[in-house]
């Protein structure tokens, strides 16, 4: 079976595993106070050209979203997001569980439009009843989005300016950030993201970590007693070394970027093959997730040799499916896929 | 430096690491639906002689406590616990964060007394104003307790009977369960615990897992849509294999029990050495944590070669400290400790 | 100044005031255990032809919505509502504050469409990832809606059938229920509402109570220990008599219905006058709220003699405003309004 | 039947009722933006000699405690209170419902001791693990306490100094504040309370209001967008006039103080009668609640003619009961009680 279903179905990148194995017998303080967490944080600050950054390591994406949002919002505030945003759809209501509303905006291939944000905020503050409504306190974007699409630097600058204007936080969910940074035509590097957002996270799980996301507060805005807040959410890992060691390795010798580049190179090959074979694309994605419209019969046939993600029904005869390359995809996988398609 | 500070300061037990490494390139479903989670669950059911058990894997102790308690309690209920119980003291208010009160009872070397529980419940239901009060809905015990002490089978039976009588759930926090099961004089094995409690967890982190606890619902009482509840708490691990694989290994060839036995054998040696050297014990602990009363000057001296946990001030001249053996303690550690003391 | 701004800007209906005054020196149990609460409940059961109904009195609409929803939903469930529903817009995120998501559906003049509900539920349960999503656990409708519109009996039957099919609760927010029951062409009386919904509330505040809403559980489905839940929300009124006495009076000699009829008769006059004077209606409302599209200049002029609610901007030159009759509107008010318009 | 059971079992003080009736037909803005709320706030500021005070009107005591505490605490903070404090015992876990822990201290006739507070705080901040614990963020006291006892000015000064030192808020629950202010030997007037606390509330319900408490932020420390927070709790009363009008009247011609004085004069008579008749006091209370130890047989006899509150079992043959005078107690009540006793 060939696997293009997702980017978290294999274990751990061999270099990260090696880092774990090599340091395994070291006796280290718990709860993220070990030297590897510190070293990883230092390397991320450097990579993001953001010396004042405050970095916290958490275990998974929903957990990171939940804690970042809940800890930065005031009780009377909600978070603006695309209606297709991960926090709005596939996190089991984790944001609402903390008492905050997700305020949704139309999604354009996973992205929110600047004018929609602006119009929402203008309407809200013009409404004489807005004291009876949930205040927008943050803008959440995913980058890449759930559709593999990317924001441009100009878009992020515009969002950043709006946030400053209305005193909102700008939060970028980078569950697949490595695949965004490695995209051919992106003008957003880690430094630009650190500069333009208030908080973002560097996804580890989908880039080859066993578990682990690095949450970066960029404006000296980490909430006080963050460790206690993390504990209160049940999210403080005793052996924080697991997270620190992996990110220390990710940010040594540009491994994180390299993993992204390799997966995107294979994704470009995948796109080329799909085009060549005449598959119809659901949208144009510059990252590791490709969405195609496929006939039900063809899909049945492919299912015997290939795993993929079902996305949505397109029409009576067609489905939209997603094929994803990842840190663990090999050239051989692509070659075999070509043969199958 | 010799390390007796805690049981989670080294990495992962070599056998577990091997299990991770060996399966690393396997492509597996996410979110705990992989075959290793299933296999681990099957082995735990067998080990606990509890075929109807429902088993869920989570990442850490506080998370497991929080989710077990919040998902089993009704909104108007709280959980009874010793005032020294982990949930009452060192979890950052994680239970309260989910809206539930921890109702405290006096602690006797970490344990609650049957008569105190009975008296609490009788008083509560006799109070004509109890509809204005938080209803007790669960009893929480830790085993071993935070003081290393153990409940007897008779005590657990008594608690179980009370719980049945008042329709409470009995929850056993087994963060260090392996060190309890291996104790010399305990009459509580896994099967007895499964039979007498409604829910308990088998601690992995402190027994050599990188992260991971196995939550066991013993009475076909797992809350509906538990996966969604776990997601909502931000606690659903994408690569659930990490948890399944470790517990699969723990429960192969009795590794879990063996680890406990080895640590307790070393703990017995430690006790003997401490007694021999004339140290005063703070209490009698049958498990891997030993508490001694030590003069400040002696402590200063030892601190140069030894790590330990500060427990509390005893008097002007003395401290109570904790020394813990663990899955990673070696005979050599004990021998060197003997030399130092 | 003539007041058509809202239906809660005057005090208390004189008959209710008399009931309070007459019983003022009676010594009564607190917290809703007095005989007037009991009597009011009995009368409501009779009026709704629902002997098994369980009735609880609360202070305001948002409070009632919040408690009804939070107490009936499971933790992993959300509530379906029109995107214009009061709980989705003007309750400050009170539902989310309790940890539950409001799942929105398109609004058609304030109402949700049967086919949208059906389609939402079919899509949800067909989604293989729905365990990662918030489960729909309840349908919320307002009747009249925030736009003054009404559901028909056929529509309520259809919603009820869907709810039974999917095991959802059907909740009807009757903040202005009296104005619905009195509508000329409605085929929904109190008995039909009690039969077709699982829970609904009879609004008092907007019908002439100082404060007070009667929450009716119709299927023997009141959550256990509801008093404690109300207390936990900070919503248990010490002098519950205030609520019981007013509803006892509302449901004596059909006062509640009579108040509705009188306000609607005046609303019909208002509509006739507006039509006669050539005002454009924003929508056709059969209840006490009328929405008209008015030129900005005309509005400025009217504002000198009339209070109204601003609804929304219609175009560069026009606004939508709302004029509401209420329990306190008099024939003289209407006559004076006619003169002004 | 003679009523000494509680201070909220009769309706509304006649002067407040008159204020409601007189203004009943006035058309006023909703949600506390009416002129009576404003006027009441102004009068309270004057009475408390606290021009910068920010005053909000809420409906009941538990609601007021819940909102004051939740809105002033940070997420990682809890509130210190006597273990007998109302928030710790009889509010159904309303504080925990908002995610915050009540951190209890020993109770001395309902009061907390300065040395216990100091010791708690010193121990907490000295604990190297305190980042894993709930941070104390507020001190809650009730005045009078649940046992009718009072703090002295010196005690309040000491608590205030500790709060400043540790940056905690000092919150005084004044559910029965009028009965404290009127006590013979108290040195705490409204101005001293406003000066020494950060927030307190002036109880209305138990002083003759139908419902209503005035929450006073004394240090320009009202949380931003407090109206939205109140709404989010389901606690924003549409007809805020109900609250404003009653407090406007309470603070006109010193009615609030006068009510307290009258009830305490009768309480002093009650004490004298009880002493004269040889009843044993459970404690010395300077306010409107008197606690006596009474033989079971005597109690059975008295129960035929008298209502009281059961407090607790004293021994096999005796009970502790509470007799309370209130705004509605008359000289005739006392005279009849004397005859009965």
What pLDDT does C341 receive?
86
pLDDT in tens, A22-68: 999 999 999 999 999 999 999 999 999 999 999 999 999 999 999 99
In the prediction, which pLDDT does B128 show?
84
A75–D231: do the CB atoms touch at under 8 Å? no
Give counts: helices (H), strands (E), chain D.
Answer: 14, 13
**In whole angstroms, what separates CA D240 from the centre of its chain?**
21
Q: For residues C28 and C25, what is the distance between their CA atoms, to the nearest angstrom?
A: 9
Per-residue pLDDT band for A330 (boundaries 50, 70, 90) equals very high
Half-sphere exposure of D265 (CA within 13 A, CB side): 10
Q: Which residues contact B151 (CB under 8 A, 6 or more apart)?
A: B111, B141, B143, B159, B188
**Mean of the pLDDT values across residues C47-60?**
98
Instruction: Count chain A–chain C contacts defined by CB atoms under 8 A.
Output: 54
| Per-residue model confidence (pLDDT) at position B300 | 95
Element (H, E) at C99: none
H or E segment at A122? helix A114-126
Q: How far is A267 from chain D (nearest CA, A)?
A: 43
Report the mean per-residue pLDDT for chain C: 97
Q: Could you say which of A10, A91, A205 has the minimum Cβ distance to residue B25?
A: A10
Residue B39 has pLDDT above 90, yes or no: yes
The answer to whether the Cβ–Cβ distance between A76 and D133 falls below 8 Å is no
Q: Residue C127: which pLDDT band, with cuts at 50, 70 and 90?
A: confident
Query: Is the whole model's pTM more than 0.80, yes or no?
Result: yes
Query: Nearest CB to C89: which of A93, A97, A133?
Result: A133
Provide the pLDDT for residue C2.
Answer: 94
Share of chain C above pLDDT 90, in %: 98
**Proportion of chain D above pLDDT 90, given as a percent:** 98
Three-state secondary structure readout of B145-157: CCCCCCCCHHHHH
Looking only at the bridges linking them, the beta strands covering D318-324 and D309-315 are: antiparallel
Contacts of C99 in chain B (CB under 8 A): 99
**Chain A contact for D9, CB < 8 A?**
no
- Give me the pLDDT at residue C123, please: 94
Q: Is C91 on the interface with A (CB under 8 A)?
A: yes
Nearest alpha carbon to residue D90 among C97, C71, C31: C31
Instruction: For chain A, say whether C74 makes contact (Cβ under 8 Å).
Output: no
Determine contact: D224 vs chain A, CB below 8 A.
Answer: yes
Tens of pLDDT along A293-315?
999 999 999 999 999 999 999 99
D118 exposure class (CB count in 10 Å sphere: 0-12, 13-18, 19+): middle
Give residue B74's pLDDT band: very low, low, confident or very high (50, 70, 90).
Answer: very high
Buried b (16+ CB within 10 A) or exposed e, A252-269: eeebbbebbbbbbbbbbb
- CA A134 to chain C, closest CA, distance in angstroms equals 5
Asked whether the beta carbons of D269 and D333 are under 8 A apart, the reply is no
Task: Summarize pLDDT for C219-242 with one digit per residue, the tens.
Answer: 999 999 999 999 999 999 999 999
C102–A93 C-beta distance less than 8 A:
no
DSSP lists the bridge partners of residue C323 as C290
Q: What mean pLDDT do residues D299-326 have? A: 95
Q: Is the dihedral of CA B132, B136, B142, B148 positive or negative?
A: positive
CA distance D170 to D199: 7
Tell me which H or E stretch contains A335.
Answer: helix A331-340
**Each residue of B135-168: pLDDT tens digit?**
999 999 999 999 999 999 999 999 999 999 999 9
Record: contact C76-B135, CB cut-off 8 A: no
Look at residue D130 in the predicted model and tell me its pLDDT: 95
* Backbone region of residue B183 per phi and psi (left: phi > 0; alpha: psi in -120 to 50; beta: other values): beta
Chain B contacts of A97, Cβ < 8 Å? 232-233
Tens of pLDDT along C258-276? 999 999 999 999 999 999 9
Report pLDDT digits (tens) over C78-114. 999 999 999 999 999 999 999 999 999 999 999 999 9
Residues 128 through 167 of chain C touching chain A, CB cutoff 8 Å: 128-129, 132-134
Task: Tell me the domains of chain A and their CATH numbers.
Answer: 2-7+256-340 (3.90.1150.10), 15-254 (3.40.640.10)
Question: For position D127, what pLDDT does the model report?
Answer: 87
Please state, in angstroms and rounded to a whole number, the distance separating the CA atoms of residues C256 and C250. Answer: 5
Nearest residue to A177 (alpha-carbon basis) of A65, A257, A247? A257
Interface test with C, best of D2, D4, D5, D11 (most C CBs within 10 A): D11
All partners of chain D with 3 or more CB pairs under 8 angstroms? A, B, C
Mutation test of the interface with chain A: which of C94, C101, C120, C138, choosing the one with the most A Cβ atoms within 10 A?
C101
**Touching check for A228 and chain D: CB below 8 Å?**
yes
pLDDT digits 0-9 by tens, A126-174: 988 899 999 999 999 999 999 999 999 999 999 999 999 999 999 999 9
DSSP run (H or E) holding A5: none
- Asked if pLDDT for residue D25 goes beyond 90, the answer is yes
Among C97, C128, C136, C320, the residue to mutate for chain A (most A Cβ within 10 A): C97
Q: Which of A93, A123, A89 is nearest to A104 (CA)?
A: A89
Residue C295 has pLDDT above 90, yes or no: yes
Beta bridge partners of D200: D172, D216
Three-class SS of residue A211?
coil
**What is the C-alpha to C-alpha distance for residues A83 and A96, in angstroms, rounded to an integer?**
15
Report CB contact under 8 Å: D239, C11: yes
Q: What pLDDT is recorded for position B341? A: 86
Cβ-based contacts under 8 A for chains B and C: 48
Mean pLDDT, residues D204-228 taken together: 98
D29 and chain C: CB distance < 8 Å anywhere? yes
Residues 321-340 of chain D whose Cβ lies under 8 A from any Cβ of chain C: 328
CB-CB: which of B93, B101, B104 is closest to D93? B101
Tokens of D6: 């509680």
* Structure confidence by residue, pLDDT tens digits, A238-251: 999 999 999 999 99
**pLDDT (average), residues A285-291:** 97
Residue among D78, D97, D310 minimizing CB distance to B99:
D97
């Amino acid at each position: 079976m060939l696997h293009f279903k997702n980017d978290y179905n294999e274990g751990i990148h061999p270099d990260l595993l090696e880092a774990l194995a090599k340091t395994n017998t070291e006796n280290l303080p718990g709860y993220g106070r070990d030297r590897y967490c510190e070293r990883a944080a230092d390397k991320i600050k450097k990579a993001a050209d953001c010396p004042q950054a405050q970095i916290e390591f958490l275990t998974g994406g929903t957990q990171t979203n939940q804690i970042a949002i809940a800890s930065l919002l005031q009780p009377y505030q909600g978070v603006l997001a695309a209606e297709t945003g991960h926090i709005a759809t596939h996190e089991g209501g984790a944001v609402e569980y903390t008492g905050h509303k997700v305020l949704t905006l139309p999604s354009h291939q996973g992205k929110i439009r600047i004018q929609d944000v602006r119009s929402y905020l203008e309407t809200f503050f013009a409404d004489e009843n807005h004291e009876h409504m949930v205040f927008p306190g943050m803008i959440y974007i995913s980058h890449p989005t759930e559709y593999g699409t990317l924001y441009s630097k100009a878009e992020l600058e515009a969002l950043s300016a709006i946030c400053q204007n209305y005193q909102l936080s700008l939060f970028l969910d980078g569950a697949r950030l490595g695949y965004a940074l490695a995209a051919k035509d992106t003008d957003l590097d880690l430094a630009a993201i650190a500069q333009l957002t208030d908080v973002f996270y560097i996804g580890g799980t989908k880039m080859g970590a066993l578990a682990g996301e690095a949450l970066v507060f960029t404006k000296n805005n980490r909430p006080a007693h963050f460790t206690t807040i993390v504990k209160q959410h049940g999210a403080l890992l005793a052996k924080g070394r697991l997270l620190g060691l992996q990110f220390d390795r990710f940010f040594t010798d540009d491994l994180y970027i390299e993993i992204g580049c390799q997966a995107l190179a294979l994704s470009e090959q995948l796109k080329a093959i799909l085009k060549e074979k005449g598959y119809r694309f659901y949208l144009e994605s510059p990252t590791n997730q490709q969405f195609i419209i496929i006939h039900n019969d063809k899909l049945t046939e492919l299912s015997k040799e290939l795993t993929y993600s079902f996305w949505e029904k397109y029409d009576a005869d067609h489905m939209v499916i997603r094929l994803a390359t990842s840190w663990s995809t090999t050239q051989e996988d692509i070659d075999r896929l070509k043969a199958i398609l």
